[in-house]
Amino acid sequence: MTKTAKQLFVLSLIIKLLLLPWFYHPDIKSQYFHFQYLSRGVTNIYQYIDQNKTNLPYQDTFNYLPLTYFTFGTYSAIVQKIAPPNFSTWINDWSDHQNNYANLPVFLFLLKLPYLFLDTLIGLLIYRLYPKKNYYLLWLFNPLVFYLIYVLQNFDILPVFFTFLAFYLLKRQRPSLSFFIFGLSIALKFYSLLLLPFFLISTRSNFSKLIKYSFISLIPLLFSVLPFINDSSFIRSFIGSGLTQKIIEFKLFSIPVFPIIYILYFLYSWRYSPSTIFKNITFIFLLFVCLVNFHSQWLLWFYPFYLLAFASSPKKLLLGHLLFLPLLLRVLLIDDNYLTWGHLIPIDPLFVKVTSPYNLIRYRLMQDPLKFQIIFQYLTFLTSFIIFFAHEKNNRH
Amino acid sequence: MKKIIAISFILLGFLLLILLPTLFITSRHSISNQSNPTFFNSLDIGHTYNFEVTTTNTNLNSLTFTLKNPQILNNNLIHFKISSGTDEKVLSFSGSNIGDPSNLVLKYKPLPTKNEGIVQINISTDNPDPNSLYLLTDNHGQPVFNSTYYQSGFANRLKFNFHRLTSQLTQISFIYKTTYLLLLFTLFLFL
């Protein structure tokens, strides 16, 4: 690594260390609320919540996979040892005073440290893949990356890191290891299954090898889920959970549109463009944001690949990122102050009471925010089409 | 150059920590009565509520009460009179604005009060039925409420937020602050 590259990595670390303590989203607290139970000896969190729901200060179910629980549960146990003494009080405090903790920036700093590590590793992988190009800078100093990782602060960065590491290993001609690593991502979060078929066909392997790689990539999921498979509370946690529900939400003539187009596109790309992994993930991403009522943190799933698909020139980069304008405006108009001003409560807990854009439009401008959301949805469609066709045209030339 | 960028970010960060609340948070918590236990007491022509609060801040600009209108059937008017001696606000709401139960937030232009002055609050209604509208009170019959005051003047808010931030940072244990600064300083040496 060159001296300049090293310094730029350090500079990005300094900037991110400054950001870490001062942004909050309740997801990080609700997730770590559940993760804390591993250090109390709870190995079946699904059953534990089911049996103790009425006595818990936070009563939502745990909708993530066992490997997620065990991985972050282990980190939670470490944090409990090194965090200020009132960490446990905060994580279990869901009262009106839950944001009034002077140590909140310290808690957030400690909880987000693994994200910083994983984010930097993705930067390193990009550097290793394209050492002579400055693509890694687009990742290291990218405001969208700052937002998706440190402001929305979901643990999705871990499965995203594994999918990207799998991509790196695939490029280094180590397919078996690559698909095992990809499997870790699936065992952490189901979304990776959306990308798996395109990883498989990019190897251009014969049918038996595709079966082999598919099996390898399912090993971590099978092993981690097997002990829970007969547990009804585990099964219940996943029925109707976020992604599975949302990808079939948009229907035409009672037929869910996203899965149908996804399958058709997969068959098309298997036949005509199996090796263009960036192009395929870009298409799935555009399809996803148009047809799925996504949570903002889900944008991170595709982003490293999407970014690299447009990294070759500033013009392309600008074109690819046009999409994020209507996407982020849609997020801003969701009726949830924790997606706007609420992010700043470590600076001042009263930020959660500042008028949200949703309420501003509804009560000050006396307009229906849904109208604007629909406009931004149409703009998302439009920019997605423009990006897809411009991208296709560029690739042909 | 990279050192200058890093220092600029540190300074900008510190500035934003003070500047953002100064620009966007203009109302802060003032006096409240959150005593426990609480009860819903009838609010009707025969049951009005008169009470005084001693404010610690000038410019009271909102009061929040908890009311209950079972099945949202009562549409009679509820009147709130807030008086500081020099100025007076009268606000009336229909019972249809009250849920089962819900918080009623009365927002109004800042009411100038002298520092540590007395504010008189009167809650009355046109409702003749003693069993259809209720107000949350403590066990002495005093309404449970929250209030906010308007923090006037940019410089005043800036000063307040600087003190608030420094006070928050002093509450954080020395070991965490030192570790954080050491980490930043160590990284800085590699630039």
- The alpha carbon of residue B14 and the mean position of all alpha carbons in its chain are separated, in whole angstroms, by 26
Distance CA A279, CA B189 (A): 41
In the structure encoding, which two tokens stand for residue A364, read together?
């000050």
pLDDT band at A396; cut points 50, 70, 90? low
Instruction: Give the pLDDT mean for B62-87.
Output: 87
pLDDT at residue B181 greater than cutoff 60: yes
Asked if A22 reaches chain B (Cβ–Cβ under 8 Å), the answer is yes
Asked if A15 reaches chain B (Cβ–Cβ under 8 Å), the answer is yes
Which pLDDT score, from 0 to 100, does residue B85 have?
A: 78
> What's the pTM?
0.90
- Tell me the shortest Cα–Cα distance from A148 to chain B, in angstroms: 19
- Tell me the shortest Cα–Cα distance from B42 to chain A, in angstroms: 26
Query: Count of CB contacts below 8 A, A vs B?
Result: 69
Whether the ipTM is more than 0.90: the answer is no
Asked if A292 reaches chain B (Cβ–Cβ under 8 Å), the answer is no
| Residue among B126, B43, B118, B121 nearest B82 (CA) | B121
| Residue among A284, A276, A282 nearest A390 (CA) | A282
Asked if B174 reaches chain A (Cβ–Cβ under 8 Å), the answer is no
Cβ atoms of A130 and A136 within 8 Å: the answer is yes
Asked if B24 reaches chain A (Cβ–Cβ under 8 Å), the answer is yes
Among left, alpha and beta (phi > 0; psi -120 to 50; other), residue B82 is beta
In the stretch 143-162 of chain B, residues with CB closer than 8 A to chain A read 161
pLDDT band at A379; cut points 50, 70, 90? very high
Specify the DSSP class assigned to residue B37.
S
- Tell me the shortest Cα–Cα distance from A20 to chain B, in angstroms: 11
Instruction: Give the pLDDT mean for A365-375.
Output: 90
Asked if A108 reaches chain B (Cβ–Cβ under 8 Å), the answer is no
Which pLDDT score, from 0 to 100, does residue A394 have?
A: 67
B187–A17: do the CB atoms touch at under 8 Å?
A: yes
Which pLDDT score, from 0 to 100, does residue B115 have?
A: 59
Which of A103, A350, A353 minimises the CB distance to B172? A103
Which pLDDT score, from 0 to 100, does residue A371 have?
A: 92
B6–A14: do the CB atoms touch at under 8 Å?
A: yes
- Tell me the shortest Cα–Cα distance from A377 to chain B, in angstroms: 29
pLDDT at residue A200 greater than cutoff 90: yes
CA-nearest residue to A356 within chain B is: B24
What is the average pLDDT score of chain B? 88
